[in-house]
Structure 1
Amino acid sequence: MSVPYRCPNCRTNKSRFNLIRQVPQSVKMDPQSGEIVEEYTSGQLDPFHTPYRGPELKVQCAVCGLIEDEKTFVKFGEQSF
C-alpha cells in the first residue's frame, strides 16, 4: 500500500525522495587487520552475534538531505498543515 511522505525537516517536500534499502551482512572481522574472517548466514549466527534488528528501509529527502526511518516521513505525511 502506498502512503504519502513529507520531509519533517524542510516541511515542503512531498515528492522527491531517495529510498535506501538496508541489507545487513553479518561478519566476523580480524581485530588487527579489519579483514573479514567469517561471514554468517541468518541461520548460523554464533551465540555472541546478535542479528540485525534495524529498519529495512531508510528515506532521504532529495531536497534537504535528511535521512530518517521511513516511519518518520510517513507520520509527517499524515499531518496536514
Structure 2
Amino acid sequence: MAQPYLCPNCRSNRTRFNLIAQVATPVKMDPGTGEVVEELTDQTMGPFHIPYNGPPYKVQCGVCGLVENELTFIKHAQNDPGSTQN
C-alpha cells in the first residue's frame, strides 16, 4: 500500500525521491587479495554465512540527498503536524 513520504532532513520534500534497490549477492572472497572466489547461492552458503535480511530498497530524498530506510520517511510524514493525513 502506498504511503506518503516526508524527508526528515530537509522537512519540505514530499514529492521527489529515488528508490534504491538493494540486491544482495553472497560471495566468498580471497582473504589476501579481496578477489571474489565464488558467488554463492542459498544451497552453497553453508552454516557460517548469514543470508541478507535487510530491506528490499532504501529511499533517497531527491532534494537534499539523504538516504534512509523507507519507514523513516513514512513516519515523518505521519507525524508532521502540517500533514493532511493526520
Runs of 4+ in 1 over 3 A off after TM superposition: none
Gapped regions of structure 1 (runs ≥ 5): none
Q: Structure 1 CA distance, aligned partners of 2:45 and 2:52?
A: 11
- Deviation digits for residues 5-57 of structure 1, max 9, x if unmatched? 00001100000001001000000000111111111112331111111111111
Gapped regions of structure 2 (runs ≥ 5): 82-86
> TM-score under structure 1 normalisation?
0.92
Counting aligned pairs with the same residue, the percent is 58
**Following superposition of structure 1 onto structure 2, how do residues 1-81 of structure 1 map, counting pairs within 5 Å?**
1-81=1-81
Q: Structure 2 CA distance, aligned partners of 1:66 and 1:42?
A: 32
Q: Structure 2 CA distance, aligned partners of 1:42 and 1:77?
A: 37
Q: Structure 1 CA distance, aligned partners of 2:47 and 2:68?
A: 31
Which shows bigger deviation, 44-53 or 61-70?
A: 44-53
Q: How many residues align?
A: 81
**Offset, 1:79:** 2.0
Q: Structure 1 CA distance, aligned partners of 2:26 and 2:79?
A: 38
